[in-house]
Structures are given as C-alpha cells and as structure tokens.
Amino acid sequence: MRFLDAIAVVTGAGSGIGASVAMRMAKEGARVVLVGRTLAKLEHVAGAIEEECGRAAASVFAADVTQEDEIEGLAAFVQSEFGNVHILINNAGGSGQSSPILKTKTEDWDLVQSANLGSVFLVSKHIGKLMTEAAKAEPEAQLNRSIVNVASLSGYKAGAQIPHYSAAKAGVINFSRALAFELAPYGIRVNSVSPGFVETPLTAEGLQNARFEEAIQRKTALRRIGKPEEIANVITFIASPEASYMTGSDVLVDGGWLIV
C-alpha cells in the first residue's frame, strides 16, 4: 500500500499505460483522478478500478490536455474535490501522422508537439502549483509528492518517419529535469520514463502487421513487445516513496532495444 490515502492525477488514463498505472496505484491505496478526452473510456476504467478495489477509488475528468482552460478546470476540480494532490502522471500523447522531416506539415508538427510536450508543460504548471502550495502548507509532513512524465525510446533514438514525436519526447526528458530542479525545494520529485515498443492502442495498428512485429522482436534484446503493466510497474516505483532519493532522472524501459 505505497500510495495509501494519496491523491493521484493520471492523464491519458482511458487505456494502455495510463489505465494500468491508475489501476496499480488504486490497488495500492490511492484515490486516482482519471483524465482524458473520452468520457466513456474513463468511466470504463473507473468501473474496472472500483470493481477490483472494492471501494470508491476513481474519479473521472474529461479534458483535452493541450487546452490550458481545460487544465485550469482540472486543477479547480482537484482542489475542490480533494484539496490536495500528491502524485501526477503525465502520460497523454500520440505519435501523429508519419512523414520524413522535409515533408512534415507545420500543422502536424505543432499538433504532435502540443500533444506530447505542451500537454506535459500545461498539466505540470497547473497541478504543480497545487502540489507546491500543499507542500508549503505542510512543510513538516514530508509527504511523498512526485511527478512522472512518460517520454519514449524515441527520445533517445529518432524513430523513422516520426521526427515530430522524437523531438517532443526528447523535450519531455529535458523538461522533466528542469522541473525537477525547480520543484526540489518543495520536496517534489520529478522523473521521466521512456518506454520502448509496448502493446497499446497507439501501436495496435502496426502490430497487426506480422512483418512489423517480427522486426520489433528482432531488434529488441528480450525478443518481445512490452506490456502496459510492465511500464506501469516502473512508473509506480518511481512515483512511490521507495524512490525517495530519485529526481531529475529518466528510466529507459525498452526491452534492450538500444543494446542490440
């Protein structure tokens, strides 16, 4: 029960890694706020969490994390409903339309930057304010407060035909370091996690192609695709008090892609 009585905000929580993280944290005692654009998906995940936990463990808040006014609404909701927040998992994102750099449309570039890097900035800005205010109000409590931003293997090695995504995820890694330095005086830790190829809705279409899946397996030291739960295990460890001396780091969880 590493997250007993903690309030955790998880973006991109309607499926994949975000849903797995939310489930894991709720099972370990957290009250999770599920954030995403599609209310039906969030409600489905919330129902699964409450069935598994046997208690009211999940709240939903539909929002587009690229829109600042909607994130301001999220922060107001969290403040009103809970008056506190301990954990933030910035998981929302997407790879966008594939194209080489010289043929990438400006609007596609901007869209992917906004979804992957801009969203992390906006949510961290507004939820981070709540976290710092709560930390200042309880300076002696020394509670575990942590932000984990989901980056990508592509932030290390530029993916073919996804220059905007690779650039954005590299930005998430460095933004996390800057935020870690800024929030350290408040006892708030900030780290990032960079998954490799994982079975999620974002990769589902590509993995339907047998040749593509075989190529991924061949280029991965562990010879298989990752599962959302495996990434969630790492994220929840980093967010937990067990990683209390860890901030400003990125953890690569790629099955050994970079060593092949």
- Asked if 184 and 227 touch (Cβ cutoff 8 Å), the reply is no
User: Catalytic annotation on 156?
Assistant: no
Helix (H) or strand (E) holding 215: helix 210-219
Mean pLDDT of 20-29: 98
**pLDDT higher than 90, residue 202:** no
Q: Which of 27-31, 92-96, 119-123, 165-169 has the lowest mean pLDDT?
A: 92-96
Residue 179 to residue 174: CA distance in whole angstroms: 9
Residue of 156, 165, 186, 245 marked active site? 165
Which pLDDT does position 117 carry in this prediction?
A: 98
Task: Report all structural domains of the chain as residue ranges with CATH numbers, in order of start.
Answer: 7-196+228-254 (3.40.50.720)
Q: What is the pLDDT of residues 112-133, one digit of tens each?
A: 999 999 999 999 999 999 999 9
Q: What is the pLDDT of residues 134-175, one digit of tens each?
A: 999 987 777 899 999 999 999 999 888 999 999 999 999 999
Q: Which of 161-170, 200-209, 232-241 has the lowest mean pLDDT?
A: 200-209
**pLDDT higher than 80, residue 97:** yes
Residue 125 to residue 238: CA distance in whole angstroms: 20
Residue 91 to residue 80: CA distance in whole angstroms: 23
Residue 16 to residue 168: CA distance in whole angstroms: 20
